[in-house]
Structure 1
Amino acid sequence: MNKSAIKELSSDALEVALDSNLGSGILRDIPIFGSAVKVAELTMSIRDRFFLKKLGCFIYQLDELSKKDKDAVLSFSKTDDSEKVANKIIQVIDNVTDVEKTELIGKLFAAYCKRSIDKPSFLRAVDTVQHYFLDDINNFISIDNIHLFTFYDLESRKVDMLVGSQLIKEQYIKQNELIRMGYDSSELDITYFEDSQFGRIFREALKY
């Protein structure tokens, strides 16, 4: 990206990210990233400027990685999956309306390249970031563990809108087990919730 285009975006984070060696490496080694930038630079419409800003935030997350993790990202560019995964990332970055969501996508991508999250979970996680409200996602990430949460508990932690997503599931526990745990009769017929397995993977990938 040329300097004039970066300045028009008025984003220091974007300038650092796209000027960094890692950013240049990704744009060079995964063709679809470079192609997307070139197309956006040709027109520089409002939509394209916003896209470049979001892409810059995505790359900035990768620039913060250790050298070992950067090498993992660059190794990804040589895999058979690189074009398909990169195409998915570009499509989602283009569609999201919150710049902050691209930071989460960058973290997920880094986790995928480090093999701390597998491909199906990564693609599912990217879709989750795209389709759910950013504050709900951040609130979910901030919770250490959802276990025996009532709907009221979910509301108080502001993650109740994620019920029905793949992150949270109903927790099935026998009444005699609840009694053994000290629950009284008024609490036995309440619906309880917990993290899904995917929810735990999702949080772990984005926690730090």
Structure 2
Amino acid sequence: MPRRYLQASKMRDKNEKNQVDIFKSVKSEAITELTPEILETSLDLITESEVLKDIPIFGIGFKGYSLYQKITESFFTKKLLKFLFELKDIELTHREKFINELESRKETNKAGEKLLITLNRLNDDEKATFIGRLFKKTIIGKLEYNDFIRLTHIIDNAYIEDLKLLENNYHLGRIDDDVKSNLHQIGLIKQSISDIKREKQMQIRIGGKGEDIQPKLIYSINEIGSKFIEFGFN
């Protein structure tokens, strides 16, 4: 075998061996023995550690990854269960029919995969409850699928406490302007500028001079926001 091919073969074998070692390190039982103290130990002492003798040195860096993965998997499971819980009262045949029809449409190809990705990305498990309620309304025909997708995107980008303030709150009462601005940015409410001429007339009508009236931002719920309030809380 020519020398260059022999070297290439050895390099591939070395890369494959290193790859297997890294994966074994990530999945190793020995990772559970790692402690913050070990991670803070200098490299020369780490290589002498009895706890780590069977773990490749690069495996140490994956201790945090292994813990992170366990946490995120647990968090994802909780979000998935909260989403599915909202659908449990829908008859199985109804759910199956809806999903079959959904998957048969070209424009909603891989809809389930996209939904799972969104659920996995959510930063609060209560958002999964909102999405579950909205999906339930979509299955039973009260909410259009396109509106569901749009609301899912909005929920993903929202601050959960801002969303909670909208419950039965079509007139946006008891919500300060900073929160209203946030809700406007994600697409749940609309923004307009006050009518100065009208406000002057109203002030004069009640005995004022109609002076020093400055324009201000006016917020009101929009169509998609109304659907969120109607279907997202029950």
State TM-score, norm by structure 1: 0.62
Pick from 160, 163, 167: which aligns with 2:184? Answer: 163
Matched, 1:120 2:146: yes
Change (3 A) 1:71 1:50: same
Change (3 A) 1:197 1:172: farther
Instruction: Considering Cα pairs closer than 8 Å and 6+ residues apart, tell me whether 1 or 2 has the greater RCO.
Output: 1
Pick from 52, 55, 74: which aligns with 2:80? Answer: 55
Write the distance in 2 (CA, Å) between the matches of 1:193 and 1:55: 34
Residue 91 (structure 1) shift? 0.7
* Matching of residues 1-208 of structure 1 within 5 Å: 45-63=70-88, 65=89, 67=91, 71-79=93-101, 80-81=104-105, 84-146=110-172, 154-155=175-176, 158-171=179-192, 174-178=195-199, 179=201, 185=210, 189-208=215-234
Q: Could you tell me which residue of structure 2 aligns to residue 15 of structure 1?
A: none
On the 8 A contact 1:154/1:160 being kept in 2, the answer is no
Change (3 A) 1:115 1:171: farther
Q: What secondary structure, in the 3-state scheme, does the structure 2 residue paired with 1:163 have?
A: helix
Residue 52 (structure 1) shift? 1.5
Q: What secondary structure, in the 3-state scheme, does the structure 2 residue paired with 1:169 have?
A: strand
Change (3 A) 1:173 1:160: closer
Residue 55 (structure 1) shift? 0.7
Residue 159 (structure 1) shift? 4.1
Q: Could you tell me which residue of structure 2 aligns to residue 14 of structure 1?
A: none
* Superposed CA RMSD: 3.1
Residue 89 (structure 1) shift? 1.6
Q: Please, which runs of 5 or more residues in structure 1 have no aligned partner?
A: 1-43
Q: What secondary structure, in the 3-state scheme, does the structure 1 residue paired with 2:154 have?
A: helix
Tell me which amino acid in the other structure corresponds to 1:76: F
On the 8 A contact 1:170/1:192 being kept in 2, the answer is yes
Tell me which amino acid in the other structure corresponds to 1:55: L
Q: What secondary structure, in the 3-state scheme, does the structure 1 residue paired with 2:190 have?
A: strand
Tell me which amino acid in the other structure corresponds to 1:116: K
Residue 177 (structure 1) shift? 4.6
Write the distance in 2 (CA, Å) between the matches of 1:205 and 1:83: 25
State TM-score, norm by structure 2: 0.56
Count residues with an aligned counterpart: 157
Residue 171 (structure 1) shift? 3.1
Q: Per-residue displacement from partner, 1:38-60 (whole Å, max 9, x unpaired)?
A: xxxxxx83322221221111111
Write the distance in 2 (CA, Å) between the matches of 1:199 and 1:84: 26
Tell me which amino acid in the other structure corresponds to 2:76: F
Q: Please, which runs of 5 or more residues in structure 2 have no aligned partner?
A: 1-68
Q: Per-residue displacement from partner, 1:164-193 (whole Å, max 9, x unpaired)?
A: 221111135644555459797466622211
Write the distance in 2 (CA, Å) between the matches of 1:105 and 1:73: 16
On the 8 A contact 2:84/2:132 being kept in 1, the answer is yes
